[in-house]
Structure 1
Amino acid sequence: MSPREMYQQRRTTPAEAVRHVRDGDFIVVPTGVGEPPTLLTALSEQRLDFRDVKVGQILALRKYGYIDPATVDHVRHVAYFFGGATREGGQAGWVDFIPNYFSEIPDQIERGLVPADVVFSMASPMDEQGFFALSLGADYTMAAVAKARAVVLEVNPHVPFAFGNCRVHVSKVAALVESEEPVLEVGLPKIGVVQEAIGKYVADMIDDGSTLQIGYGGIPDAVVMQLAHKRDLGIHTEMIGDGILSLVECGAVTNRRKNYLPGKMIATFALGSGKLYRYMNRNPALEMHPVNYTNDPALAGMNDNLVAINATLQIDLLGQCGSESLGSAPFSGTGGQSDFVRAANRSRGGKAFIVLPSTAKGDTVSRIVPVLSPGTHVTTSKNDINYVVTEYGVAQLRGKSAKQRARELIGIAHPAFREELAAQAARIRLL
């Protein structure tokens, strides 16, 4: 049977495609815009027909009907990372959570530690050889494809056909549906004066020829905005977005000086505009790979001069970063922060930046604290921390003693809190 014949044989309606799910199944969905809206809408409409079905995903972007506390016995969301669509449910306890390093989710799927009975994913149109590209989210989804009983794809002409290990053959597909809605676009975060100041400190420490990992958020994008004058930057990251695209367009990113995978940008998921998605289509300069390839600290750390830029919510005077919760209330997740901090620490000439505004709640609360708030989920450990940057400067903590760290961090805290922080540090014998 030819690929085109197999395609037609598997083509069906969303309502029928969802019937490949059985009671008790665990459905794996890609990161962000890789989530298939037609399939997840059909699942939501039929959720009362199922029992004990779970949908696992990093960063759900839309609050589908199944994300509903009244029907969690039928279909329940399981987050690997919380976003706006799932945060409220996570804090209330009816959206479940699997702690993880992003890089290790594929391995957990392969070992059966994280289930993968069915895959729902967006996909590019099929090529002549019968392959689809899961280019918007190769992440852990490729591992789930290899493990799942049923792979169900939503084929959309706006999904790019990318290079890299992100392709699935039609013979592996149980069912497919077609949609033509534009892929969801996610704009750049808002950048204020504080973010711009932090971004400048970081940008000034990035040398020509560095390879970048850039997380999502206002401060990482503020860094990007100030790199246009740099030369021969490379990209080895988890997320490719419009900020990185702007550096390609202005000539700052060439990937020429990368010693590991030279000439190639490497990422595992995309989050941006239609312009970005069109740029990704059959572009030999970009490869999309599973996250255990992009984020593995040993592999990513093979890039010399790797610069990792990630944000946190709170940091204590030892350098422990609470980047994913507000006290015990979940806010996001570990994601790739720990992966790339460790990768940059392994890299020859690498630099790992943790960035944060010095205060919150209208300058009434210091984000630099003597000890983390009770229940805070520690993301980057005191043993991994390198550079910490606020709008007041840069603290380099790696190799420093506890007392040295406390002095460094108090020095970049908001001036209104420095005296109090010093007194509190003395009470806990850090100063």
Structure 2
Amino acid sequence: MDLNSQYLAKRKTPAEVLASIQDGDYIFSAQSSSAPVTLIEEMPLLRQWGRKNLVFNSCGPNYDHAWFHDPAMRDTVEHVSWFFSPPVRKACQEGLCGFLPGDTTSLVRKTMDRARWEGRRPVLLATAAPLDAQGNFTLSVSTLFERDLINAGALVLLEVSSKHPRICGDTLIPLSRVTAFTETDRPVPAGNPGKAKPVDQKIAARVAELIPDGSTLQLGVGHLPNAVAVELRNRKHLGIHSGVFGYAMLELIRSGAVDNSQKGFMDGFSICSSVSGGQDLFDFVDDNHSVLFRAGTFTNNPRIIAKNRNMVSLNSTLEIDLTGQSAGESMGFRQFSASGAQPETIQGAQFSPGGKSILALPSAYEAKTADGKRVLQSKIVTSFRPGTVVTSSRTLVDYVVTEYGTACLRGLSIPRRVEALIAIAHPEFREQLRQDAKKYGLLY
């Protein structure tokens, strides 16, 4: 059968694509902006068809599908998620989604083990860019775990969109490897980075002091990394090795600060596993051979990260305790996001020659009380509230930055760590933190 005949045979309606799913399948949705929205929206058809005992694994979905909140779907599919975004946080509160903890370099392997032990067939639902002349689709905007699932033999069902960029790197999916696909013109969901707040700008200025010329960067997305990029525009010979390619990276490339010339590993290329932002970002990575997408098992592997010279990882966190533990994913028992690659990038950066890792956070935040009043709360705490997950242990945490200063915890005893962290806490809470530290034996 020639290429065109294969193409026509595998091109189907969304319902026909979903008909390939069988009882007991373990369904992986591509992450975030690369999730196939049209296919996922039609998944209630599986209930109508009487499918049973399915697992659906999402990862930070952008769209809030109605069936996420439909108790009637529980008899058809168990919804679990590797990374919580607002839609799945809401579903979790409704008792309709469970969190699946893990790190980005082992999640696929461990979850595939579980699927195999339970006799489940793995299925990948993903969005792809259109077929090229050589007969390949291209993974679009993410290779975080999608590449590994394809390599591991998952059944591949695609939503092929003419509006998705064709990214470069380890991204090709041969038509022969695809069971079925449907065509759409749905654009990539765009994220709005928003405007940096004054506190972000203060923190960014302090973070930038820790990043010399020639550093290789891992930055996330959001207000703070974007503010850091502004501070680094006049640096020279920076490099990129980062899980996410966001607006901060684009800013640094356009300013000339990034040329990837001194990384010492994969020089000349920006390395990432996903892209998050708006259309200008998607246009930039489209067919751009200087930006290479690799699986998270590569990009976020501490041993791979450590091959870069002067690696600097920047991560945010929700809270830090006085011994240096990072709580970056939950607030008490409420799951907010996930560990992501924080522990792995922290380790990889510190293994790198001349490397360092940075956790950055505002010193305080406003919380609403039961009677509706807003009160200031410290993000540097004596101890975490019950149920809070430790994302990175105190043995890993290196530099901590707030708008009030920088605490380098490397090589410090507990009493000296306590002093260093109190010094960068919000002034309103420093005395209470000191009293608590003495009460619990953290300070003499």
CA distance in 2: counterparts of 1:320 and 1:189, whole angstroms: 29
Does structure 1 retain, via aligned residues, the 8 Å contact 2:115–2:121? no
Q: Which amino acid aligns with 1:135?
A: S
Deviations 1:139-158 (A, max 9, x none): 11112223345211111122
Write out aligned runs for 1:259-298 (5 A): 259-298=264-303
Indicate the residue corresponding to 1:164 in structure 2.
169
- Counterparts of residues 54-203 of structure 1 (less than 5 Å): 54-70=55-71, 71-109=73-111, 111-112=113-114, 117-203=122-208
Cα deviation code 1:321-347 (max 9, x no counterpart)? 111001111111000111101111111
- Does the residue aligned with 1:261 lie in a helix, a strand or coil? coil
Alpha-carbon shift at residue 218 of structure 1 (Å): 2.1
* 1:194–1:253 distance in 2 versus 1, CA, 3 Å: same
Any idea what the Cα deviations from partners look like across 1:25-77, whole Å, max 9, x if unmatched? 11111211110111111214544433232221221111112212412222332
Identity %: 34
Q: Structure 1 residues 148 and 64, CA, compared in 2 at 3 Å: closer, same or farther?
A: farther
Residue aligned with 2:201, SS: helix
Q: 1:47 to 1:309 in 2, by over 3 A?
A: farther
> Is the CA contact 2:105–2:297 (under 8 Å) kept in the aligned structure 1?
yes
Q: Which residue does the alignment assign to 2:371?
A: none
Amino acid at match of 2:28: V
List runs of 5+ in structure 2 lacking aligned partners: 367-373
Change (3 A) 1:195 1:13: same
| Aligned mates of 1:4, 1:355 — CA distance in 2 | 52
Rounded Cα–Cα distance in structure 2 between residues aligned with 1:323 and 1:104: 19
1:356–1:336 distance in 2 versus 1, CA, 3 Å: same
- Give SS of 1:225's match: helix
Change (3 A) 1:293 1:42: same
Q: Report if aligned partners of 2:169, 2:289 keep a CA contact under 8 Å in 1.
A: no
Q: Is the 8 A contact 1:66 1:75 kept in 2?
A: no
Name the CA shift for 1:72/1:224 in 2 (closer, same or farther; >3 Å).
farther
The 3 A distance-change label for structure 1 pair 48 and 411 is farther
Question: Alpha-carbon deviation of 1:92?
Answer: 4.2
The answer on whether the counterparts of 2:46 and 2:76 sit within 8 Å (CA) in structure 1 is: no
The whole-number CA distance in structure 2 between the counterparts of 1:52 and 1:205 is 51
2:406 to 378, 382, 394: 394
- Structure 2 residue identity aligned to 1:199: A
User: Deviation of residue 350 (structure 1)?
Assistant: 0.8
Which residue identity does 1:172 align to in structure 2?
A: R
User: 237, 250, 264: which is aligned to 1:232?
Assistant: 237
Distance 1:94 1:350, change over 3 A: same
> Is 1:213–1:237's contact at 8 Å kept on the other side of the alignment?
yes
Q: In structure 2, what is the Cα distance between the partners aligned to 1:8 and 1:418?
A: 67
Match of 2:370 in 1: none
The separation in 1 between residues aligned to 2:153 and 2:53, in whole angstroms, is 17
1:242-391, aligned counterparts within 5 Å? 242-361=247-366, 364-391=376-403
Change (3 A) 1:191 1:47: farther
**C-alpha displacement at 1:229, in angstroms?**
1.1
Which segment drifts farther, 308-317 or 182-191? 182-191
AA in 2 matched with 1:327: G
Q: Secondary structure of the equivalent of 2:105?
A: helix
Q: How far apart are the structure 2 equivalents of 1:66 and 1:83? A: 16
What value does the CA root-mean-square deviation take over the aligned residues?
Answer: 1.6
Contact 1:103 1:291 in 2 (8 A): yes
* Gap regions ≥5 residues in structure 1: none
Does the CA contact (< 8 Å) of 2:112 and 2:122 recur in 1? no
The whole-number CA distance in structure 1 between the counterparts of 2:168 and 2:364 is 42
How far does the alpha carbon of each residue in 1:238-273 deviate from its partner, in whole angstroms, 9 at most, with x for none? 111122112111111111111011000111111111
TM-score scaled by structure 2?
Answer: 0.93
2:424 to 404, 409, 412: 412
